[in-house]
């Protein structure tokens, strides 16, 4: 009979796949999940949080929320539309595509983003806390609040000055 100590000392249990192969297979499984989501009509939420995803297909429409927190993604596809919430917290995102539309909330907390695209529309809340954001487009539309805590903008401008810069913000502005 083999004892546990014998197994540990003799390294009888050896992984069948290398870490690189496991990561590659995981990424393939995630891509299949995205394709299945699209095939199923892009309904509901698409949760890719904490995955190794680096890109998404062009013209992606997400009926519910799209969660990409803690991923290595650096850019989003053109013509992306998200019905509910888009969460990009703690990603390497540095820019957003033009004409991005988010039905409810967009969260970019703890990203390296410095500016937003023209024609950005966010139905409810825009969270930019702890970003390097230095400018806002004058045609920005936010149906609810704009969160700018701990940003270069919050250190440079007052709430009234920011409101004049972006009259399309309907709710409160938090510095």
Q: pLDDT tens, 109-149?
A: 999 998 899 889 999 999 999 999 999 998 999 999 999 99
3-state secondary structure of 37: helix
In the sheet that 46-47 helps form, which strands lie side by side, from edge to edge? 46-47, 66-67, 86-87, 106-107, 126-127, 146-147, 173-174
For residue range 19-41, list pLDDT tens digits in order: 888 888 998 999 999 999 999 99
**pLDDT band with cut points at 50, 70 and 90 for residue 99:** confident
How far does Cα 128 stand from its chain's mean position? 12
How far does Cα 38 stand from its chain's mean position? 18
**pLDDT band with cut points at 50, 70 and 90 for residue 14:** low
Q: Kindly report the average pLDDT of the chain as a whole number.
A: 90
Architecture of the 15-174 domain: Alpha-Beta Horseshoe (3.80)
Structure tokens at 41: 């009509």
pLDDT at 95: 86
Domain ranges of the chain: 15-174
Query: Stretch 50-66: mean pLDDT, rounded?
Result: 93
Residue 9 has pLDDT above 80, yes or no: no
Please give the Cα distance from 114 to 12 (Å, whole number). Answer: 52
For residue range 39-53, list pLDDT tens digits in order: 999 999 999 999 999
70 to each of 4, 79, 154, how far by Cα in Å? 37, 23, 25
Please give the Cα distance from 161 to 108 (Å, whole number). Answer: 22
What's the predicted TM-score (pTM) here? 0.86
Structure tokens at 65: 């929320």
């Amino acid at each position: 009979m083999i004892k546990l100590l014998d197994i540990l000392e003799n390294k009888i249990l050896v992984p069948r796949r290398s870490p690189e192969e496991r990561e590659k297979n995981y990424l393939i499984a995630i891509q299949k999940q995205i394709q299945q989501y699209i095939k199923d009509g892009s309904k509901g939420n698409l949760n890719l949080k904490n995955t190794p995803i680096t890109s998404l297909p062009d013209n992606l429409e997400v009926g519910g929320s799209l969660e990409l927190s803690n991923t290595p993604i650096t850019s989003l596809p053109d013509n992306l539309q998200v019905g509910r919430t888009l969460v990009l917290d703690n990603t390497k995102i540095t820019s957003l595509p033009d004409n991005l539309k988010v039905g409810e909330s967009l969260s970019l907390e703890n990203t390296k983003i410095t500016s937003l695209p023209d024609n950005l529309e966010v139905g409810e809340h825009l969270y930019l806390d702890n970003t390097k954001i230095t400018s806002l487009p004058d045609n920005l539309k936010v149906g609810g609040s704009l969160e700018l805590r701990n940003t270069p903008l919050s250190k440079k401008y007052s709430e009234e000055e920011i409101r004049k810069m972006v009259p399309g913000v309907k709710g409160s502005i938090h510095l």
